Structure 1
Amino acid sequence: MRIRVIGAPMDLGADRRGVDIGPSAIRYAALNEQLRRLGYSVHDIGNIHIPQPESRPVGHPKLKYLEPIVQASEELADTVEQALQDGEFPLILGGDHSIALGSISGVASVHKNLGVIWVDAHADFNTEETTPSGNIHGMILAALSGLGNHKLTHIKGWAPKIKPENIVIVGARDLDNEEKALLRQHHVSVFTMSDIDHYGIFEVSKRAVEIAGRNGRPIHLSFDMDSIDPREAPGVGTPVRGGLSYREAHTAMEVLADSRQIVSMDIVEVNSILDHENSTARLAVELILSALGKKIL
């Protein structure tokens, strides 16, 4: 497989600064070298251009930095679409989770019946009517499902990008009340940390693939590092206690790799300012390798 590495240093979708350094931190943790050791061809095209928050007005308080996020999402969507058309696997490095608006829109332009596995402490299924913060990183899955502001839903000119019933959220443990109602209303599958405690990560991961990848449909994997417990991944934008353990995260990636249905991946929310000796970025690299087929034996 040929892998196209795309950096998306987005720092506009959330309040806490620092995730724009994430792509560099992940690369510094020897991502490309490790991928080549697995036998992959790596084509790293660097980062797309995303402006710093200081250079743009915040705009509407319920849709902070809407215009630059939309602009960056359009560019990222085109970049991801081109990678797939060139026969390469898009691996997108964030940045905050608002980059998934661009990455998934690009994949959905090629794979029309796309499934999404969203590994995250949060569901990111708010709209401008339900958001408590106005941070767009918390609206991305809803926007991709066609819900919310027209500028967010209609990246590349069409909506929805994914059907809600083709989405599986894994590891959720911090959901807003109105967001919960939207998730139920639109029949999004959500496996909370309580479900993982009850069923085990292996069974939950298998069920996630069965739902998102039903009838062999291609799957985009979107992995937020805050899905992992902060003791294992301290350098994230929005840490929440009680997350996935080191081995649970790897087991999930190994199950997804075995499905052979993952056609693209983004990994987000590495915040080097809050990290310890780049440990979260190193863990991100390990998880990428597991998702792309690395085995213990």
Structure 2
Amino acid sequence: MTPAALIGVDWGSSNARAFLFGRDGGVLAERAAAIGIAHHQGEACAGVLADWLGDWLNDCPALPLLLCGMVGSRNGWRECGYLPTPASLADLAASLHAFDWRGRQVAIVPGISHDNRRDGFRDVMRGEETQIAGLPAVCPRFEQLDWLLTPGTHCKWIRLRQGGIAELATYMTGEMYALLSRHSLLAGLIVEGDWRSEPFLQGVEAAVAHPDWLHQLFGVRARGVLDAMPAEALTWWLSGLLIGYEIQAGLARATDTPVRLCGIVAAPRLAHCYATALRSFGVDAVCIDGDQAAAAGLWSLARQAGWL
């Protein structure tokens, strides 16, 4: 077996994934656990990490440990600030928050902040910057990407320029869908089911045609109570409506040049939804494995920081 050279951890709010890297950058082993920062905060993270990765840590006492994600947030292990845009991968590597832990070199990748005055607030993200650092290794079309999208609870629209991060915008699309489908007046009408492209694209088209989104949301209920659309179709119509509004707003941010290709980092089903919606706007999309991007990014940043 190739000797180990680095332990990398992508530690989010709900889950964590760890990678044991060989000297050639290959992943020798990996593991995942539901030990997110939402449940383990501050110095408690050290004990959780020691229990979870105890065998790796004991077998490789001299290996450096590089972490990214919410582990660097205010509620994480050690708070690590935000690097303002524009930020290159070299900027990220030079801004690692390093400290000693049990005689081991440890560092956390900083988050990214973006100040767009028309938004009225400074936007932030953690974790996605490390995935971007790994894109050249996992996405053959990396240099062609105009924006990177990370759909999920909160979707980040990240503008890429010369391999770095130029702009950032966050949309709470996934969380809004969860709230509406589970806790609103619409909950009794929503039934999860297999993919249905026709009502999904109808929802996207409604978003384009009608900017009054608060009114259009009630259209889900109206269609349901009047039996104008079956419950299985309403689910996808609502999804299409929300994603349609998001994509319309995201594309409007690109005022200087047309958007031709977006990268999508998401689970396959959600990535398919976004890719389908983007095509209806005339934008091509390439789907990217988030775990592979995070692993490649941790390795890349460790190398640029001179750890390897």
Structure with bigger RCO (C-alpha 8 Å, 6+ apart): 1
Q: Which has the higher strand share?
A: 2
Whether TM-score is above 0.5 comes out as no
TM-score, length-scaled by structure 1: 0.30
Q: Which has the higher helix share?
A: 1
Q: Which of the two has higher C-alpha Rg?
A: 2
TM-score, length-scaled by structure 2: 0.29
